[in-house]
Amino acid sequence: MLEALSSPVETTPTADVARIRAAFEAQRAHRWTMSRTTAAERIARLKRLREAILARRLELAEAIHQDFRKPAMEVELTEVHPTLEELNHTVKHLKSWMKPTRVGTPLLLAGSSSHVRYEARGVVLVLSPWNYPFQLLMAPLVAAIAAGNTVICKPSEKTPHTSRFLARLVKDVFPENEVALFEGGAEVAEALLELPFDHIFFTGNPRIGRKVMEAAAKHLASVTLELGGKSPAIIDPSADLAATAETLAWGKFLNGGQTCVAPDYVFVHESRQQAFLDALRAVISRFYGATEAERQASPDLARLVDPVAWKRVKDLVDRSVAAGAKLEVGGVADGASRYIAPTVLSGVTPDMPIMEGEIFGPVLPVMTYRTREEIYAHIQAGGKPLALYLFSEDKRMVEEVFQNTTSGGAVVNNVLIHVANPNLPFGGVGMSGLGHYHGVYGFRTFSHERAVTVQWMKSLAAVFFPPYRGKAQEWASRATRLLE
């Protein structure tokens, strides 16, 4: 497997524009058939997908390991389990989600009733990333199918083995006029974005997210953007440092630090910095090995996805150390295997390279604070993060942090776990994203909420018809007084 990791990446398929357009037109012709499917028919499709995943989970683990040596346990916990959870939750609740929702009727509309219908958007595009190449394609796909859409998917070319696995899976489970998947690089994405999709779901970085929005604007398509950002972790003096260090180490170094909701940096009160660093050092030794050699040999650390990512993270560390940051743990890097050690930096200041943007690697910068206002000023000055993590036993502190910050999601005394709850919406705000999904929120994202009013008897509104004199004027005045 290490040989596969180190070998040159195979060339990904180039764009076959004619085939892409043919698939799109086939789906557009079929979209009304799909939108009329019943809950039972959609559930049958989802169950068929679930059975295929269960039958191929070992093949999936091998594909992801070949791409960036992700441990099999992490594949199970972060790729397979969340997908099955999403599938099971959707299968259980889809029938109730599809039912029209009755809403109230104001007095002036007496004699009518109103409801909201959930209708498929039509033909939708899912552009998924490389860091969780299976789960982050499957979750929006499940929601899009549940809402009755036809779907075209494009996985990232940076994980070619997983991309090919996904292509085989989709082809075996769905006819192409329902779900199609195209492999390839930027030229494939560009060819897809030329088409008049009804909705585009993109997971990636803000730079590409802007291009997706521009392409969608040409066709007035709606978009969901799942982006990233520098998600802070705040350690209050009341926090349990041993538990905090253990949780942060897990959340930061999971998947080689290549997680959009990973804790990107830490704020710890200056009086507790040394105790936190000592606790973090002990946890890293226990998780991955007591020496740098043991950590490099550990089977529990994923590698950076490609040489470009490896060099970028290494340069961030090198330049930050040159600027005055202190290496507390790690700093070892091996280009041949795309390895970067679990790394902790102290003495970090906001102007250092490591704080310029999302790290997306196994490096944890630690900054100190004296007053909470320092934390709030720093977070408010930057882009709105995808997640915020707070470690505290002080409920008043928790509420104060929420009132002075914003983020896509938040967790108190843990990290990442909000993503695993299908009853919560997942998504960003501002630079970290637009829109959300998971559970019913995903179903609604891929649905048009159609407002319907049905008049069952003569409308009272007739008294307001022209000419606007006499009784019409009198009734209009009475109606206004009722609202005062």
Known catalytic residues?
Answer: 226, 260
CA gap 165, 368 in Å, rounded = 45
Residue 161 neighbours by CB distance under 10 Å: 19
Q: Which of 368, 416, 144, 395 is nearest to 260 (CA)?
A: 416
The alpha helices in 36-159, defined as continuous H runs, are 39-55, 57-68, 72-75, 81-98, 135-146
Q: Could you tell me how far CA 91 lies from the centroid of its own chain?
A: 21
Element (H, E) at 125: strand 123-127
CB 340 within 8 A of CB 314: yes
Angle subtended at Cα 326 by Cα 324 and Cα 328, rounded to the nearest 5 degrees: 170
- Taking only Cα atoms into account, the Rg of the chain, rounded to an integer number of angstroms, comes to 26
Identify the burial level of 94 via C-beta atoms within 10 angstroms of its C-beta, where 0-12 means exposed, 13-18 middle and 19 or more buried.
Answer: buried
CA-to-CA separations, 122 to 108, 152, 218, 347, in angstroms, rounded: 35, 11, 17, 52
Query: Would you call 275 helix, strand, or coil by DSSP?
Result: helix
Residue 292 neighbours by CB distance under 10 Å: 15
CA atoms within 13 A on the CB side of 300: 14
CA gap 150, 176 in Å, rounded = 9
Residue 458 neighbours by CB distance under 10 Å: 8
Tokens 């004699």, located at residue: 111
Angle subtended at Cα 387 by Cα 384 and Cα 391, rounded to the nearest 5 degrees: 120
